[in-house]
Amino acid sequence: MSIVTRPLLTGFIAGLSLLGLSVAHANNPPDMTAEEKESAKQIYFERCAGCHGVLRKGATGKNLEPHWEKTDADGNKTNGGTLKLGTKRLEKIIAYGTEGGMVNYDDILTKEEINLMARYIQNTPDVPPEFSLQDMKDSWKLIVPVDQRPKKQLNKINLKNVFAITLRDAGKLALVDGDTHKIWKVLDTGYAVHISRLSASGRYVYTVGRDGLTTIIDMWYEEPTTVATVRLGSDARSVDTSKFEGFEDKYLIGGTYWPPQFSIMDGETLEPIKVVSTRGQTVDGEYHPEPRVASIVASHIKPEWVVNVKETGQIMLVDYTDIKNLKTTTIESAKFLHDGGWDASKRYFMVAANASNKVAAVDTKTGKLAALIDTAKIPHPGRGANFVHPKFGPVWSTGHLGADVVSLISTASDEPQYAKYKEHNWKVVQELKMPGAGNLFVKTHPKSEHLWTDAPMNPEREVAESVYVFDLNDLDKEPKRLDVAKDSGLPESKAIRRAVHPEFNAAGDEVWISLWGGKADQSAIVIYDDKTLKLKQVITDPAIVTPTGKFNVYNTMYDVY
């Protein structure tokens, strides 16, 4: 598929949809063998459920139920569903992606697998089993009790500059020494670790895989060692510790996509303590059976966690001072909540309600919604990026899956020198032009003069394999394109190697980029000098399989971005 043809095709398909036309129509779902269903179910879990939901009701991605009906504010009903689209049209959408942010799968899945998935999503989705507190307890493994762990650090690694790197399809985590750029240890984890979080001391790395498996890795050993594991459910995305003074690492909270709930565990052993369901009413007043916990962060100013519930649009402030008698404050925002990060003051949490094209700002000091900000299509900030804009003062930024811009949002500040910018607070004050949609992460650092952006979900190779760097001193300039795939020195592959997730080192003078290839292709971590934007080093090894998110210990501990 040529660079020109692919967007024309997706635009043509989208146009037919807007006109209410379909390429194919079938009343009955395609036949599938039991073996085909099992294979398709696994692919759907690995590749599709995150955006479309286990029950396929949609969130970041479209509703993929065989039949659906919705009523607008005027009472008008519209009908749709995958059966209405038909196999051939679904194959094209899966293969070539969409302009709304869905990646093309023609270089990830085989033609046979694409056909399999096109048929599978026309069949009624299976409902996975629930997962109780007792199920968690049955899965819990305390490998090394706390009193048998090292009493001091037994290695000479600079732990503050270690990177925890997700090796997605391998179900592993690489810990890399940021000072020497050497792989320190590769450990087994859950499948496709979505996030790594750090203990208050920086000693423990907590991981959560998309299969619900959570681990604690102790970095005080001569070599990093997994000391406990527990399963939260069958699909999970987020964990964080208790950070407030007096509660450092006493508890760990984990949020699941399925079942829709969050769980509280002992912070040093992972012993399960409590499970709380998130099923309930949406901000629109409708019941939703699958309101997934998308992201969780620990407050810096109160003994609370901020829990973001995707489908309901509800933000929960969970007070962990009394787990038995748990107190929560529920804040209405907008659907569908995804990911976000702190503003520079660490008072306001900024979270994307991506399918609503909004960002919610939560004031964790007052426990109220500070603002709901309209943005371009499908904001996807990761943690976002904070810097002081020369014209508008402190801003927090987000990229977009569905639009070719980076949005800069003015944030409130109690510092007197920023009082003059108050009139701009909670508004998009500037949009920086990107070469296309498909951004996942933006990143900067207090010591940097650059804003780093990726575009791995863009269907075009040239864009997806590059990162784009804006000059914070002159934001009107076009960003500098860095061809990460070319700079890696790896031979060209048929599959796109996607440049994803810029992450600074602890000193703020290096930026690490994951070059995310296919299972059968060599991948790499490509390191740039932040000041000169010159290639510094490439880390590649047979163990570096499908690297995605990277989490520097110091920056993750202190929410530096």
pLDDT surpassing 60 at residue 4: no
SS3 state at 330? strand
Nearest to 192 by CA among 216, 163, 176, 172: 172
d(CA 244, CA 130): 32
What structural domains and CATH numbers belong to the chain?
5-120 (1.10.760.10), 131-157+189-332 (2.140.10.20), 159-184+434-561 (no CATH)
Least confidently predicted of 218-232, 341-355, 397-411, 508-522: 508-522
pLDDT at res. 304: 98
487 closest CA partner among 503, 511, 506, 505: 511
pTM metric for this prediction: 0.87
Least confident of 89-103, 180-194, 287-301: 89-103
What are the tens digits of pLDDT across the range 364-395? 999 999 999 999 999 999 999 999 999 999 99
Distance CA 499, CA 458 (A): 11
Instruction: Please tell me which residue, 128 or 555, carries the higher pLDDT value.
Output: 555
The stretch 484-495 carries a mean pLDDT of: 93
For position 23, what pLDDT does the model report?
39
What would the mean pLDDT of 553-560 be, rounded to a whole number? 97
What would the mean pLDDT of 341-347 be, rounded to a whole number?
Answer: 97
| Helical (H) or strand (E) element with 407 | strand 405-410
The average pLDDT across 405-429 equals 97
Active site amino acids: 48, 51-52, 102, 338, 380
Q: Which of 289-293, 518-522, 532-536 has the lowest mean pLDDT?
A: 518-522
Type and span of the H or E element at 70: strand 68-71
**Tens of pLDDT, residues 460-477:** 999 999 999 999 999 999
Contact 83, 122 (CB under 8 A): yes
Predicted pLDDT at 549: 96
pLDDT classification of 14: cutoffs 50, 70, 90: very low
Structure tokens at 366: 């007052």
CA distance 517 to 169: 10
Q: Which residues are within 8 A (CB) of 282 and not within 5 positions of it... i.e. 6 or more apart? A: 288, 291, 311, 312, 313, 314, 335
Is the pLDDT confidence value at 20 over 50? no
- Over 90: is that where the pLDDT of 70 sits? no
pLDDT tens column, 242-297: 999 999 999 999 999 999 999 999 999 999 999 999 999 999 999 999 999 999 99
CA pair distance 296, 316, nearest whole angstrom: 10
Does the pLDDT of residue 534 top 60, yes or no?
Answer: yes
pLDDT at 100: 66
Phi, psi of 484, deg, nearest 5: -65, -40
Say whether pLDDT at 447 is over 70.
Answer: yes
The share of the chain scoring above pLDDT 90, in percent, equals 84
Q: Does 117 have pLDDT greater than 90?
A: yes
pLDDT of residue 73: 67
**Confidence band (pLDDT; 50, 70, 90) for 5?**
very low
Checking if the pLDDT of 397 tops 90, the result is yes
